[in-house]
Amino acid sequence: MHIPDGYLSPATCAVAFAAAIPFWSASLRKVEQQLGTRLVPILGVFSAFSFVVMMFNLPLPGGTTGHAVGMGIATVVLGPWAASLAISIALLIQAILFGDGGITALGANCFNMAIVGTWVAYVSYRVIAGRAALGSRRRVVAAAVGGYLAINAAAVLTAIELGVQPLWFHGPSGVPLYAPYPLHIAIPAMMIGHLGLAGIAEAVVSGGLLAYLQRTERRLLQATAPGAGATARGAMGAFGLGPRRLLAVLGILMILSPLGVLATGVAWGEWGSEAFTHPEARQQMARASGDVAPPQAAPVGLERLGSLWRSPIPDYEVPYLQGPVGYVLSATVGTGLIILLWLLVGWVLARRRRLHTGA
């Protein structure tokens, strides 16, 4: 679901950024209001968690790959406003440092996964969980279903954004300028894998981690459970034992991250411009797209915008350090940058708050 540079027209990218900016602005205001409750460190933990989870690629039908996002559990703990920021930061680091998702397409990727995904997860979780107790199995089911619906909502938006490109943006002869496959190919190609394996993975991550938090630090579930009957402080004041345990889980995932490279193939709609002229890559593209062959050459706009940004660590492959060690190092670097960035955000917001209050 990480749309690369060149697959969306500049106009589509501009609309996506315009749609995302109001949500980012509102989310920042919410976080700033809650800063005194020590929300920022927990944001950093779940932002890093989402980043690492997205490194675990799964084999999908057609020879492509997919992954969970962690949007379900992030939303349950943080609420939709803070979770949208947490996942947006993870997507930002992925795009800039690792080339996973495009710079021009960052607004679309954040809108699909960090905004729409989190709100779908939140509404689903609240409706299904109701007023169940924090330790109820009903909340585990609610988190799992919320995560499943969230990642599929993001996937269908991605498919639509890619699928309308040949219809709206093409040359005089009808040749696509950006993403080459229309809606009737893009939607099934994207959704078959996400309705199946990727959606199940997101459900397992969301429901499984919620069950873990029910046993270890139930307070972290209070923020999105009004009326659940709990008297303990909510997640906003619980940066203590619970997040430290989550950091341990995060560390284990970082060590296991090389498992993410076992799945071969490229995610649908994320092929580089060179793939359009490579025989084996063309076969993989056709197989994943209902046996419809791609254009003989990369679309003009895709090739032009696709080279706009060169990430320093493309595809999480550290120069001169290939294999599992390089992948773990990429996970460590990305996680460290995300947490440092959130510490910087916390410092800036705290400083603004002191200036406004005159303290």
pLDDT tens sequence across 22-60: 999 999 888 877 755 567 788 888 999 999 999 998 888
Adjacent-strand bridge partners of 170: 176
Q: What is the pLDDT of residue 234?
A: 43
Question: Distance between CA atoms of 108 and 224, rounded to whole angstroms?
Answer: 26
Q: Domain locations in the chain?
A: 10-357
Q: 291-330: per-residue pLDDT in tens?
A: 999 999 999 999 999 888 999 998 888 887 777 888 888 9
Query: In the predicted model, what is the mean pLDDT of the chain?
Result: 88
List Cβ neighbours of 137 (8 Å cut-off, separation of 6 or more).
none
Q: What is the mean pLDDT of residues 154-170?
A: 96
Are the C-beta atoms of 45 and 243 separated by less than 8 Å? yes
The token duo for 292 is 């419809």
Asked if the model's pLDDT at residue 102 lies above 60, the reply is yes
247 vs 345: CA distance, rounded Å: 19
Alpha helices in 217-322 (DSSP H): 241-256, 279-288, 300-306
Q: How far apart are CA 220 and CA 230, in angstroms?
A: 11
| Cβ atoms within 10 Å of 248's Cβ, excluding its own | 10
- Cβ–Cβ < 8 Å for 104, 305: yes
Residue 359's pLDDT is 54
101: left (phi over 0), alpha (psi -120 to 50) or beta: left
pLDDT in tens, 194-250: 999 999 999 999 999 999 999 988 888 988 988 765 443 444 444 444 466 777 778
| Other beta carbons less than 10 A from residue 290's beta carbon | 12
154 near 228, Cβ under 8 Å?
no
Percent of the chain residues past pLDDT 70, beyond the cut = 92
| Position 262 confidence tier, pLDDT thresholds 50, 70, 90 | low
In order of 3, 4, 235, the CA distances from 309 in angstroms are: 14, 10, 38
* pLDDT confidence of residue 342: 86
Contact 196, 225 (CB under 8 A): no
Distance CA 212, CA 228 (A): 18
Q: Do 324 and 26 touch, CB atoms closer than 8 A?
A: no
Residue with tokens 């510490």: 343
pLDDT of residue 240: 44
Q: What is the Cα–Cα distance from 344 to 307, expressed in whole angstroms?
A: 30
Look at 11-20, 98-107, 178-187, 214-223 and tell me which has the smallest mean pLDDT.
Answer: 214-223
Q: What mean pLDDT is predicted for residues 322-342?
A: 87
Q: What is the pLDDT of residue 229?
A: 54
**H or E, element range at 58:** strand 58-60
d(CA 319, CA 304): 25
Give the other-Cβ count within 10 Å of 357's Cβ: 7
Could you please state the CATH topology (level 3) that the domain comprising 10-357 is classified under.
Answer: Arp2/3 complex 21 kDa subunit ARPC3 (1.10.1760)
